[in-house]
Amino acid sequence: MKEFFELLKIEFKRIFSNSVLCAIFFGAPVLYGILFGYVYQQAKVVDLPIVIVDQDNSPLSNTIIDAFEDNEALLVKDRRYAPGDILEEMPVEQYAAVVTLPSGFEGDILQKRYPEVRVDLNMANILNANTASKNIQQVLMTLNAGIEIEGLQKQGLSPSQAKVSYESFKVNFNKLYNSTGNYLSFMLPGLLGAIMQQVIFLAMALVFSRDFEDGYFKSLVKKNKSSWYLIALKVTPFLLFLPLMWFIVSRLFVFFNVEAAIFNIPMLVLVSLLSLASMGIGMLFSIAIPNQLKATELLMVISTPAFVLSGFTWPSLAIPGFINGIAQSIPVTQFLAAFRKVAYYGGDMADILPEIKMLLIIILVSFVAMLLLLQLKINKSKKRIAG
């Protein structure tokens, strides 16, 4: 044990002497967590610029424009009476939508000719387009209902009768889990999970590949020829550091007021398993590829698309089967699927059992492969030393 602790001191020195490793492992989660938190802090999209082409210029069109101006998600950037060349302006002004009220609009409504309001959506940004579409439809449908009810009242119906005659049934939407539609609560957990996986991947990719490059691996083999021993030596510093990093990441949820149940036993299990699975894959690459740059580059190939493939933002059912199969072997896919069950649905250990089993399989496979491959490298190194 004394020798183990002596070697452990050297490991700590080697870790802290590597500025790139320190920047990745200690800086990235905090820096990116704060950065993404402030990016999504507004929590919802507001003031999307729209253009109103008012070809009618009537009291009714003025009422409609006032209603658009009262909607917090929309910003009436320009009101004009002729379309002009909006297509040329769009790349510069980035209008989310153009709403055209046709000439004779109010008169056609009074004459029951059912005029058409044209809405041109800018689909270059789908999130903005969907938000604009939803709010434009909300404004127009509310006004449409008001006009219909007012018309029925003019025919002699009481306000209550007019409302019942217009509405054949009611629709009541009850929003569950993130009922306010807070975009920060939706995005931040997924991004932080992906960041932590990537940080662990890249940090562990350096632990053995650096030793192979600078010849330190030979010194380790002289001290002990067991792959178990060397893996324990390399893993120990990170097992001490990771709880601290996860604690800092958890405080970001508190700092940005993200409503998610993360301080519980199932989440502790998930965080532990994600860490071990990511460490296993990272160290396996570090042993298999004895070059720091190549090991980190190949792990980046895995970690970069991991968030997209995880099914956190784009549903897994919509991802082709063979790609989804690959995604299931990436630790963060299992972590984020289980995270949502625990943090938002209030699930327990039984609810996340499928994800736990898959993470355990990833851990088992990666660590067995790592032990075998490292032992082969140790045996080769012994022969060279003996020769």
Q: Which residue has the tokens 């127009």?
A: 140
In the chain, the number of structural domains is 2
Last-in-domain residue among 119, 141, 166: 166
Assigned domain for 172 exists: no
pLDDT digits (tens, 9 = 90+) for 250-308: 988 888 888 888 899 999 999 999 999 999 999 999 998 888 888 888 888 777 778 77
Q: How far is CA 75 from CA 57, 80, 82, in A?
A: 19, 14, 19
Q: What is the pLDDT of residue 148?
A: 66
In contact, 26 and 54? CB cutoff 8 Å: no
Q: Can you give the CATH number for the domain in which 134 is found? A: 3.40.1710.10
Task: Please report whether residue 347 resides in a domain.
Answer: yes
Check whether residue 137 and residue 283 sit in a common domain: no
The tens digit of pLDDT for each residue in 194-214 reads 889 988 998 888 888 888 888
- Tell me the mean pLDDT in the region 219-247: 89
The string of pLDDT tens digits covering residues 72-116 is: 888 888 888 887 777 777 777 788 888 888 898 888 877 777 788
Whether residues 127 and 256 fall in one domain = no
Distance CA 46, CA 128 (A): 9
Any idea what DSSP says for residue 168? S
**Residue 175 falls within a domain, yes or no?**
no
Is residue 379 over pLDDT 70? yes
Stretch 45-63: mean pLDDT:
86
Tokens in use for 10? 């050297």
From 114, 138, 166, give the residue that closes a domain. 166
Whether the pLDDT of residue 144 is over 80: the answer is no
Q: Is 353 within the bounds of a domain?
A: yes
State the Cα–Cα distance between residues 364 and 367, nearest whole angstrom: 5
pLDDT for residue 369 is more than 70: yes
- The verdict on 279 and 146 lying in the same domain is no
The residues pairing with 52 across neighbouring beta strands, listed in sequence order, are 79, 99
At 287, list the tokens.
């042993």
Backbone φ and ψ of 77, nearest 5°: -75, -30
Least confident of 48-52, 107-111, 144-148, 149-153: 149-153
Structural domain includes residue 274: yes
Verify that 133 and 52 share a domain, yes or no. yes
Contact 38, 252 (CB under 8 A): no
Task: State which of 109, 133, 166 marks the end of a domain.
Answer: 166
Considering the domain architecture, whether residues 122 and 197 belong to the same structural domain is answered as no
In a domain, 303, yes or no: yes
Of 21 and 255, the structure prediction assigns the larger pLDDT to 255
Quick one: pLDDT at residue 147? 67
Claim to verify: residue 262 and residue 377 sit in the same structural domain: yes
Give domain status of residue 171, yes or no: no
pLDDT band at 360 (very low <50, low <70, confident <90, very high): very high
Q: Do residue 243 and residue 118 come from a single domain?
A: no
The residues facing 74 across adjacent strands are: 48
Angle subtended by helix axes 227-255 and 265-288, to nearest 10:
130
In percent, how much of the chain has pLDDT > 70? Answer: 89
Same structural domain for residues 15 and 64? no
* Domain that includes residue 115, residue range: 48-166
How close are the terminal C-alpha atoms of the chain, in Å? 29
- The confidence score (pLDDT) of residue 161 equals 56
- My answer on whether 195 and 330 are in the same domain is yes
pLDDT of residue 169: 42
**To the nearest whole number, what is the mean pLDDT of the chain?**
82
Does 32 have pLDDT greater than 70? yes
Same domain? For 312 and 185 the reply is: yes
Q: Are residues 200 and 320 in the same domain?
A: yes
Structure tokens at 259: 């409503």
- Would 173 be classed as within a structural domain? no
Residue 167 predicted with pLDDT over 50:
no
Q: Do residues 227 and 323 share a domain?
A: yes
pLDDT band at 168 (very low <50, low <70, confident <90, very high): very low
Question: Can you tell me the distance from the alpha carbon of 284 to that of 188, in angstroms, rounded to the nearest whole number?
Answer: 29
**Alpha-carbon distance 25 to 49, whole Å?**
40
Higher pLDDT, 376 or 293: 376
pLDDT of 164 over the 60 cut? no
Cβ atoms of 331 and 194 closer than 8 Å: no
pLDDT at 11: 80
- 311-348 pLDDT per residue, tens: 777 777 677 878 888 888 889 999 998 998 898 888 89
